Each structure stands twice: as structure tokens, then as C-alpha cells.
């Protein structure tokens, strides 16, 4: 399935998905001697009335989850090695060449829904995944899989603002606003921009509409609590100064978009929302030294001039 997704070009310009595809498909190539895969999920859902309505997707509102999950993996490694000295492992969160959702399904943590997300029984899809490969066999491995609970529902398919979800549960990154706002460093393709209404970093639309996410539980760790940046709207994000950026963004997932990428996204969002109150700010950004910010602000100003 990964091969078809790559061959169809659905990974957009994420070349790193192509480069180590053989290791992704077989952990024994990634970690010779692999005998067991442990799959871990952590609930990150958080309710903070000041952050509801933020244009930043939920996963990115708190401290960078890579660090939190790595810390947890380190603790697990220490515990395992105390009990089993000499045990070797390979551990990964997100960036490692590991099919984390596939392993989570095999480990019985959940199933992959029509929106392409791993959905757990207890926490819906608001979970981060991490994977640890061991060079030893466990006594018992999972044999009970979580059944598909999508049934006849197709809410995520119709809600996706860009039609990025295919009928066979794949996400075409080229059309996905999560990819566009996080990974794409160039201008976002024009046909997708009007869909960026209140979407500045990441996208939660296909998870927000999911009935299996209707009763979320708040995460147990303060590390997932939204930071001050989650109280800002698209206008404030577009207007961030370098000093404000330094105070608010490092240590959160938002740092991946960098200063210009974040302001670029926010300018598109203001244009998509036809926010007339942002005209002056957009006029200033239309003269910004950054090409991507300038272009986004000019596009946004054009949207204001066609506003009814
Ligand atoms: C590339 C990537 C993206 C890309 C492409 C998304 C995609 N769906 O492929 C982009 C940038 C768009 C993206 C977006 C998001 N991502 Co992302 N992403 C990844 C990454 C690095 C690789 C995913 C991958 O291999 N894709 C290729 C496709 C073909 O594989 P797949 O997604 O695993 O899906 C296949 C399998 O699930 C398989 N399958 C389904 N059921 C079964 C059953 C069995 C038995 C088997 C064998 C296979 C199988 O069929 C699917 C289609 O082929 C993973 C981390 C990792 N290393 O795995 C994080 C990861 C998947 N992302 C994550 C998150 C949180 C997100 C976002 C929610 C962030 C956001 N809010 O904006 C969105 C969600 C978008 C969506 N609807 O999927 C989490 C997923 C958490 C979850 N509950 O599922 C991960 C696991 C990161 C992590 N460590 O927590 N992401
Ligand atoms: S994350 Fe947004 S753009 Fe991507 S598939 Fe889901 S709803 Fe569509
Ligand atoms: S919205 Fe419906 S179809 Fe989509 S993942 Fe949730 S239950 Fe499945």
C-alpha cells in the first residue's frame, strides 16, 4: 500500500518518505535482529476554552510531542534494560522509517479509519504514536484486533475541504492542508488557498467531524497542555515579530514551519476568511522581505477586494 501511495505521487515532495521505503516496509532491514515490535499510543487531547477556535491544530498547541514521546521511550528502554540486560532496540517517533499506523493496528491499539487516522477505542484518533523494535521475542503478542467502526459513515470524506481523502482510506498529501501548512515551503497551490479558513498550521477537520471522537478524554500529562500561542488568532500569528516568534514558538511543533512559513500560512488564512479588519496588516505584509509572505499577503488582499 505504501508503494502504491508513493507511485501515485501522493507523498508530494516528502522525499524522505521515498528514500528509505524498503526499511519502512520491513523493520528487519531497518534493525537487523528485530524480533518484536512494541507500538505505543499517547492521548494528547486537551480542553482549554482559551485555545478552542485556535487556527493551530490540536496536536501542535502544546510542547513538541516528539520530545515528550522520546522521553517516554527512554524511560521504557531503561526499565526494559534493567530487567533484561543486553536487550537492544530501535525506537522511533514520527520521523523514523517505520509504518507507525500499521504497527499500531497489528498491536491492537486501534483501526485505521476512512480519514486515514489510527482510531483507538478509548481516545478516538487524538493519539500520538511511537514504535520500539526489540531484538528479543516476547512471550505473548497481540492477536486481538480492533474492528473497523466506520460502518456507513463518510463524514470525513465530505468534510475534507480539499477532497484529499481517497475512497480507499489514503490521504493525498498534495491536496492535504496538513501537508501544505507544515511541510510545503513554497507557495501553497492557489486552488487550495480558499479552503484555509481558520487553518494556519496542521488540519483537524477530518478528525473534528468524526463521531468516534465525540467523547474525548483530556490527556493526563501537562506536557500536552496548549501554550500561550494557542490563544492567538490568524491576525496575531500573521503579525508576529521575530522577538514574539522566539518567545512563543521554539519547543512547539510550529517551529517546523519557521517564522516565514507561519506568517505565510496566517496570511492565506486571513485571505480565505476575507478578514477585512486585517487589510492594513496585509498591506504591510505585502511588502515583507520574505517572498512567500509577500505573495500570500498579496493573494489575501485580492480576496478582500472580491469580498461581498
Ligand atoms: C507522512 C505523514 C503525514 C502526511 C501524509 C498523511 C498520510 N495519511 O499518509 C501528512 C503531512 C499529510 C500528515 C498529516 C497528518 N498527520 Co502524519 N504522519 C506521516 C508519517 C510520517 C508517515 C505516514 C505514512 O507512512 N503514510 C503513508 C501511508 C500509505 O501509510 P499510512 O498512513 O500508515 O496508512 C496506511 C496504513 O494505515 C494501511 N492500513 C490500514 N489499516 C491497515 C491494517 C493492516 C493490518 C495493515 C497491514 C495496513 C493497514 O493503509 C493505509 C493506506 O495505505 C507518520 C509517522 C510514521 N512514521 O508512520 C505521521 C503520522 C501518521 N501523522 C500523525 C498525525 C497526528 C497527523 C495529523 C493528524 C496532523 C494534523 N493535525 O495536521 C494529520 C492527519 C492527516 C490524515 N488524515 O491522515 C500521527 C498519526 C496519529 C493517528 N492517530 O493516526 C503519526 C503516526 C505521527 C505520530 N508518531 O504520532 N502526516
Ligand atoms: S487533514 Fe484536513 S485537508 Fe488533510 S485529509 Fe484531513 S480534512 Fe482533508
Ligand atoms: S468520520 Fe466516519 S468514516 Fe471518517 S473516520 Fe470517523 S467514523 Fe470513519
Distance CA 77, CA 280 (A): 53
State if residue 183 touches ligand 1 by the CB under 6 angstroms criterion.
Answer: yes
Contacts of 57 (CB under 8 A, 6+ apart): 178, 199, 201, 202, 203, 204
State if residue 182 touches ligand 2 by the CB under 6 angstroms criterion.
Answer: no
Pocket test for ligand 2, best of 5, 115, 201 (most atoms within 8 A of CB): 115
Nearest to 185 by CA among 94, 256, 273: 256
Q: What is the pLDDT of residue 64?
A: 97
> For residues 6 and 27, is the Cβ–Cβ distance under 8 A?
no
Known catalytic residue at 94: yes
State if residue 1 touches ligand 1 by the CB under 6 angstroms criterion.
Answer: yes
Q: What is the pLDDT of residue 168?
A: 87
Cα-based torsion angle of the residue sequence 187, 192, 193, 194 in order, rounded to the nearest 10 degrees:
170
Sign of the Cα pseudo-torsion (116, 149, 51, 71, in order): negative
Q: What is the pLDDT of residue 192?
A: 98
Q: What is the pLDDT along the chain (308 residues), one digit of tens a residue?
A: 899 999 999 999 999 999 999 999 999 999 999 999 999 999 999 999 999 999 999 999 999 999 999 999 999 999 999 999 999 999 999 999 999 999 999 999 999 999 999 999 999 999 999 999 999 999 999 999 999 999 999 999 999 999 999 988 999 999 999 999 999 999 999 999 999 999 999 999 999 999 999 999 999 899 999 999 999 999 999 999 999 999 999 999 999 999 999 999 999 999 999 999 999 999 999 999 999 999 999 999 999 988 55
Q: What is the pLDDT of residue 307?
A: 57
State if residue 212 touches ligand 3 by the CB under 6 angstroms criterion.
Answer: yes
> For residues 210 and 119, is the Cβ–Cβ distance under 8 A?
yes
User: What residues does each domain of the chain span?
Assistant: 1-171+201-225, 172-200+226-305
DSSP-based three-state secondary structure for 129: strand
Of 94, 208, 291, 295, the active-site residue reads 94
Q: How far is the CA of 241 from the centre of ligand 1 (A)?
A: 33
Phi-psi region of 53 (alpha: psi -120 to 50; beta: other; left: phi over 0): left
Nearest to 131 by CA among 262, 37, 194: 37
State if residue 188 touches ligand 2 by the CB under 6 angstroms criterion.
Answer: no
Q: What is the pLDDT of residue 195?
A: 98
Q: How far is the CA of 32 from the centre of ligand 2 (A)?
A: 36
Distance CA 34, CA 29 (A): 9
Amino acid at each position: 500500500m505504501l508503494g502504491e501511495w508513493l507511485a501515485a505521487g501522493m507523498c508530494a515532495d516528502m522525499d524522505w518518505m521515498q528514500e528509505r521505503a524498503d526499511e519502512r516496509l520491513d523493520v528487519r532491514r531497518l534493525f537487523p535482529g528485530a524480533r518484536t515490535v512494541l507500538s505505543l499510543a499517547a492521548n494528547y487531547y486537551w480542553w482549554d476554552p482559551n485555545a478552542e477556535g485556535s487556527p493551530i491544530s490540536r496536536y501542535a498547541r502544546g510542547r513538541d510531542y516528539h520530545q515528550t514521546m522520546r522521553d517516554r521511550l527512554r524511560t521504557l528502554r531503561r526499565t526494559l534494560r534493567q530487567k533484561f540486560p543486553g536487550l537492544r532496540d530501535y525506537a522511533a517517533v514520527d520521523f523514523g522509517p517505520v509504518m507507525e499506523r500499521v504497527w499500531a493496528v497489528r498491536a491492537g491499539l486501534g483501526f485505521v479509519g476512512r480519514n486515514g487516522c489510527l482510531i483507538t477505542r478509548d481516545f478516538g484518533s487524538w493519539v500520538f504514536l511511537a514504535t520500539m523494535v526489540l531484538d528479543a521475542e516476547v512471550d505473548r503478542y497481540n492477536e486481538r484486533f480492533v474492528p473497523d467502526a466506520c460502518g456507513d459513515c463518510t463524514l470525513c470524506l465530505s468534510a475534507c475541504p480539499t477532497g484529499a481523502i481517497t475512497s480507499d482510506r489514503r490521504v493525498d498529501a498534495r491536496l492535504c492542508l496538513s501537508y501544505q501548512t507544515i511541510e510545503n515551503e513554497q507557495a501553497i497551490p492557489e486552488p487550495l488557498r480558499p479552503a484555509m479558513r481558520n487553518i494556519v498550521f496542521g488540519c483537524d477537520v477530518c478528525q473534528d467531524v468524526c463521531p468516534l471522537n465525540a467523547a474525548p478524554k483530556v490527556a493526563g500529562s501537562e506536557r500536552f497542555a496548549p501554550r500561550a500561542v494557542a490563544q492567538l488568532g490568524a491576525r496575531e500569528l500573521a503579525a508576529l515579530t521575530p522577538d514574539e516568534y522566539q518567545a512563543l514558538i521554539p519547543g512547539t511543533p510550529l517551529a517546523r514551519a519557521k517564522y516565514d512559513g507561519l506568517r505565510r500560512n496566517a496570511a492565506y488564512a486571513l485571505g480565505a476568511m476575507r478578514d477585512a479588519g486585517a487589510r492594513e496588516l496585509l498591506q504591510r505584509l505585502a511588502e515583507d522581505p520574505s517572498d512567500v509572505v509577500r505573495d500570500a499577503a498579496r493573494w489575501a488582499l485580492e480576496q478582500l477586494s472580491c469580498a461581498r
